[in-house]
Structure 1
Amino acid sequence: MTFAFILPTTSPVNFTTSFASSSAPSLPSATTTRRALLRDTLKRFKRLTPAEQYNNLPSLLSSVSEYLPYLYTVDAYITSQDITPLTEFETEWRAVLSRRTVPTELPRIRRKGLDYEICFATATLAYVHTLRARTFLATAIQAPPPTDNNATNTSVHLINQAKDQMLTAASIFLYLQNRSATSERGVAGMQPMPADVTTSIYNALWSLCLASATLLAVLKDDPYPSIVALQHDKNSKEWMYKAPTMPTRGRSLLLARLCMYSADMAGKAAAGVAATPSSGAELKGYCEDLAKTAKAKACRFLGVDAEGQGKLGEAIGWVLAGKEVLGMVVGGEGDKGKLGRGLDMLKKAREERKMEKAPMEALLGPDAGKMEEAMVLNELERRWRRINDSVNFHKVEPTSSLLAMLPTGRPVFPENQTWTPPKLSSSELLQLQTQAPNGGEIDWTGVDDSDDDDIDARGEGSMPPGGFPRSQSTGYY
């Protein structure tokens, strides 16, 4: 439910060669030091294994959070003319969202202007928040089954933390979208910009984060993924006799509308990525998969609502509609609707992607939860068809008429919450105003600019973009 962004890396930059300040003489050198620390942290992060990367995310978040107040203070000082430009500022970042034309890693792209640096550094903060959301979600999914209310509350708390991380990322991307669209300095100039710093990509990422946050809000009240988690545990037979608690009718309709909103936002994200010619296909594919998963969930909740009213034929029709959205239905309307070859094809595609990556990805899913949702739909259809074929004998409603009845989406979070750039405090500015240039600061300008950050140590156990962590435990919550 959250995309696995690859973090960019960057080359050294010395702010003292491009800026000078009479009111805060140490500001350029202090900014250089904080940026060098961030650059070093990003390079070290890239060499870590996936497990080490997850543990290192708080340190990385701290590094970028310490650098940004200095960077935005420099930007504010330029606006107020408290900083004098000496030479044109240039910076170099690796464009991780751009189209990959060769098998090797994309090269760093150098562009002029402080906004280029601001956009990449700020987007890195949003990427880190998204990766932290994945960590919280994976922890909640892999948690042992709850034995009391405290355990349940712990899992819900983890999902809430993941949701909050995604909302923070969404607010950052909204800020970058507004800045790139309205900034007089801009990031473009005469040179073409990588997809990573375009307004259309920021809009797409904002939509994607809102879609993910909405699905995380639904996840707290969705009992059905526990079926998948329980079936993954070979030692547990609980799923054979313990049905999940059904949400009430009004709650089912609300969850369906939230899922439709998530599907709409994910669809907008896919369109935004497609509108950027230089963007990569991986992000677009994930957005499309998330839109399908969210829409299929909406069909499932509408099926739950119909089953609660005794309309078992309509409920089965909604399940088939959800499977049709996922592309899993094989055969016509008269088919029993079992996943059959459709699920086998999806599993085969996932296995092929795992083989391209690493064996540890057997625990993960790179398709925004499509296969997990298909398994839930298949289990519900099996259960409802058995009852209908032996007791009710209701006619199964055609999927075409049901899909035309899908409700409009309903947002659950404000869409206009924008991130506020951090600035240095009055005490920090006072220290910079009284401190001589390079006073107490380490000289990072001579750091070796090697390309050893190209080494990708993620290898075994790496998580694919948008992977849905699957549990080996006996419970979902």
Structure 2
Amino acid sequence: MTFAFALPTTSPVSFGASFTSSSAPSLPSAATTRRSVFRDSLKRHKRLSPSEQTNAISSIQATIDEYLPYLHTLDAYITSQDVTQIAEFETEWRATLSRRNGPAEPPRVRCKGLDYEISFATATLAYAHSLRARSFIAAALQSPPADSSSTSSSEHMITQATQHMNTAASIFLYLQNRSTTRERSAQSLPADVTTSMYNALWSLSLASATLLAVLKQDPYPSIIAIQYDKTSKEWMYKAPTVPSGVKALLLARLCMYAADMAGKAAAGVASASSSGSELRKYCDDLAKTAKAKACRFLGVDAEVSGKLGEAIGWVVAGKEILGLVVGGDEEKGKLSRGLDKFKKAREERKIEKTQPEGLLAQDAGKMEEAMVLNELEKKWRKINDNVNFDKIKPTASLIAMLPSGRPIFPENQTWTPPKLSSSELVQLQNQAPNDGETDWLRADDSDDDLRPVAESSVQGGFPRSQSTGYY
């Protein structure tokens, strides 16, 4: 439910060569020093294995948090004319969202102006929050909820993941607003820093956060996971409560909201760049998964109410949305070979349990939802064929009955850029600029491209696990 962003890398720059400050003389050089640490951490992170990257994302976030106050303070000083630009400022970043399918590296793009640096560096913080959310989800999957304490721990980790996604959404909203209010030079900008892309990423983050809120109330993925984990003993514990009635309708509306936001994200990515196919496909898949979940919740509510024919129609509708139904009306509900391919791919992508992200995929949870729908349909069809004999409702009429979406998180929550404190500014005012601080920062960084893309690092992956945790 969270996109596996690839963190960008950047070239060395010197703020002192382009800016000078009369009130805080050492601010440009201090910003350069913090940026060099940030840049070095990004390069080191790129060379790590996927499991090591998961464990190191918190340290990456720490270096970003240390650098951004200097960068945004420098920007504020320029606005207030306390900082003077003495030379053209240029910076170079790898546009990871503009990459095409395949192992090829995304392009490096050089642009002029401090706004380009602020956009990429701040967006990297949002990517880091998304990856932190992903690591919390993976941790929640590591162990089955065998008792109340472990269940509470899983819920806490999912709550943490939700908070990180909301923070990412607020950062993307800030960047979106900034891109529309700041005058940009007439230059060709990569899709990564356009208003359309920021709007898409904001929509995608809100969709992910909403589905994480639904995940805490959704017992079915865990129920189905038990059937595919022969070592599980969770059947000995109390069965989870299945949502129905008002709760099921509320969850369905939340899923529809997530589907709408993911659809907007896909459209935004498409308008921003035709080459962002990986991210666009992930948004499309997430929209389908969320809409299929809404169908499932409505089907569960219909089954509890004794409307088994309608319930079967809802799960078939969910599978149609996922593109997993073949045949005419007499064959409605039969899975195509797509699910078998999903399952085969899942086995081929197994990773040792020591790696926190368990199994990786790039389908935004489509396979898991397909498995849940398939199991529910098999169970309900068996009962209906032998006991109820209810007529299965046409899927077209049911899909037309899907409710409107409902947000659960505020959409206007904007991130506030950090600034240096008064005491830190006083310290910078009393320090002389370090004229030689950039000599070692100008070292060649061509080795940035040496590390090949790891086969197990799947762009847009969704964390999976053989355990019977929340998913």
**For the residues of structure 1 that align with 2:328 and 2:18, how far apart are their CA atoms?**
67
Cα distance, 1:361–1:135 mapped onto 2, change above 3 Å: closer
Task: Find the partner of 2:310 among 294, 311, 314.
Answer: 314
Shift in Å at residue 353 of structure 1?
8.8
For residue 189 of structure 1, the aligned residue among 185, 191, 199 is 185
- Closer, same or farther in 2 for the Cα pair 1:446/1:141, shift >3 Å? closer
Q: What is the one-letter code of the residue matched to 1:344?
A: D
- Equivalent residue runs for 1:394-433 within 5 Å: 394-433=390-429
Could you tell me which amino acid in structure 2 is paired with residue 473 of structure 1? Answer: S
2:203 maps to: 207
In structure 1, the residue corresponding to 2:91 is in which secondary structure? strand
1:366 aligns with 2:365: no
Note the alpha carbon deviations across 1:216-254, whole angstroms, 9 max, x for none.
000000000103432332223756998642113110000
- For the 8 Å contact 1:163–1:213, the answer to whether it is kept is yes
Match for 2:179: what amino acid?
S
Q: Which amino acid aligns with 1:13?
A: V
Structure 1 pair 51–95 and aligned structure 2 pair: CA distance change class (3 A): same
Query: Aligned pair 1:455/2:450, yes or no?
Result: yes
Who is 1:473 aligned against? 467
The change in CA–CA distance for 1:308 and 1:182 in structure 2 (over 3 A counts) is: same
**Contact kept in structure 2, 1:36 and 1:444, CA below 8 Å:** no
Structure 1's 111 and 102: CA in aligned 2 closer, same or farther, altered over 3 A?
farther
Within the alignment, does 1:283 sit opposite 2:279 as a pair? yes
Mark the CA change 1:437 to 1:157 in structure 2 (over 3 Å): closer, same or farther. Answer: same
Query: What is the deviation of 1:382?
Result: 0.8
SS at match of 1:17: coil
1:5 maps to a residue whose letter is F
CA distance in 2, matches of 1:278, 1:247: 40
Going from structure 1 to structure 2, the CA distance change for 1:302 and 1:452 (only over 3 Å counts) comes to: same
Partner of 2:171: 172
Q: Does residue 302 of structure 2 align to residue 303 of structure 1?
A: no
Q: Which moved more, 1:381-390 or 1:193-202?
A: 381-390
SS in 2 for 1:20: strand
Q: 1:328: Cα distance to partner? A: 0.4
Listed one character per residue, the Cα deviations across residues 92-146 of structure 1 (whole Å, up to 9, x for unaligned) are 101111143986312311110000000000000000000000000011012x222
**5+ long unaligned stretches in structure 2:** none
Change (3 A) 1:446 1:391: closer
What CA distance in whole angstroms lies between the structure 2 residues aligned with 1:362 and 1:122?
29
Q: Give the paired residue count.
A: 468
C-alpha distance in 2, partners of 1:91/1:54?
27
CA contact 2:224–2:375 (8 Å) conserved in 1: no
Residue identity opposite 1:276 in structure 2: A
Deviation of the 1:295 alpha carbon:
0.1
- The whole-number CA distance in structure 1 between the counterparts of 2:334 and 2:74 is 61
Equivalent in 250, 254, 264 of residue 254 of structure 1: 250
Alpha-carbon distance in 2 for matches of 1:420, 1:374: 40
For residues 104 and 144 of structure 2, the distance between their equivalents in structure 1, rounded to whole angstroms, comes to 43
After TM superposition, the score normalised by the length of structure 2 is: 0.94
Q: Helix, strand or coil for the counterpart of 1:91?
A: strand
1:59 Cα offset (Å): 0.8
Any conservation in 1 of the 2:144–2:234 contact (CA below 8 Å)?
no
Post-superposition offset of 1:266: 0.1
| Alpha-carbon contact 1:167-1:209 (below 8 Å) kept | yes
Matches within 5 A, 1:329-368: 329-335=325-331, 337-347=333-343, 363-368=359-364
Distance 1:101 1:309 in 2: 46
The structure-2 alpha-carbon separation of the partners of 1:97 and 1:37, relative to structure 1 and needing over 3 Å to count, comes to: same
| Whole-angstrom CA distance in 2 between matches of 1:336 and 1:62 | 52
Inter-CA distance 323–102: structure 2 relative to 1 (3 Å threshold): closer
Please report how far the alpha carbon of residue 88 of structure 1 lies from its aligned counterpart in structure 2 after TM superposition.
1.1
Structure 2 Cα separation of the partners of residues 44 and 253 of structure 1:
47
Distance across 2 between alignment mates of 1:338 and 1:101: 31
**2:180 corresponds to which letter in structure 1?**
A
Kept in 2: contact 1:230–1:475 (CA 8 A):
no
For 1:425 and 1:278, locate their aligned partners in 2 and report how far apart those are by CA, in whole Å: 42
Task: Indicate conservation of the 8 Å contact 2:361/2:462, yes or no.
Answer: yes
Letter in 1 for 2:7: L
Alpha-carbon shift at residue 61 of structure 1 (Å)? 0.4
Structure 2 CA distance, aligned partners of 1:362 and 1:216? 18
Q: Distance in 2 between matches of 1:420 and 1:231?
A: 46
Whole-Å Cα distance in 1 between the matches of residues 345 and 167 of structure 2?
Answer: 33
Corresponding residue number in structure 1 for 2:216:
220
Report % sequence identity.
71
> Gapped runs of 5+ residues in structure 1?
none
For residues 61-104 of structure 1, the C-alpha deviation after alignment (integer angstroms, 9 at most, x for no partner) is: 01011000000011000001001111011111011111439863
Q: Which residue of the partner structure matches residue 289 of structure 2? A: 293
Measure, in 1, the Cα distance between the counterparts of 2:113 and 2:257.
37
2:123 is matched with which residue? 123
The 1:448/1:200 distance shift into structure 2, 3 A limit, reads same
Give the equivalent residue in structure 2 for 1:438.
Answer: 434
Counterparts of 2:372 and 2:406, CA distance in 1: 23
Which residue of structure 2 lines up, in the alignment, with residue 149 of structure 1? 148
- How far the C-alpha of 1:346 sits from its partner, in A, is 4.1
Does 1:106 pair with 2:106?
yes
2: CA distance between counterparts of 1:102 and 1:149? 44
Structure 1 residue identity aligned to 2:454:
G
Q: So what's the TM-score if we normalise by structure 1?
A: 0.93
Contact 1:350 1:366 in 2 (8 A): no
Are 2:5 and 1:9 aligned?
A: no
CA contact (8 A) 1:256 1:297 kept: yes
Q: Which moved more, 1:239-248 or 1:100-109?
A: 239-248
What SS is found at the alignment partner of 2:92? strand
Equivalent pair of 1:8/1:95 in contact (CA under 8 Å): yes
User: 2: distance between equivalents of 1:54 and 1:351?
Assistant: 22
Residue 365 of structure 1 aligns to which amino acid in structure 2? Answer: A
- What is the DSSP-based 3-state SS (H/G/I as helix, E as strand, rest coil) of the residue aligned with 1:97? helix
Alpha-carbon distance in structure 2 between the residues aligned to 1:444 and 1:291: 49
Q: Does structure 2 retain, via aligned residues, the 8 Å contact 1:365–1:467?
A: yes
What SS is found at the alignment partner of 1:93? strand
CA distance in 1, matches of 2:289, 2:43: 34
The 1:247/1:285 distance shift into structure 2, 3 A limit, reads same
Across the aligned residues of Structure 1 and Structure 2, the Cα RMSD in angstroms comes to 2.4
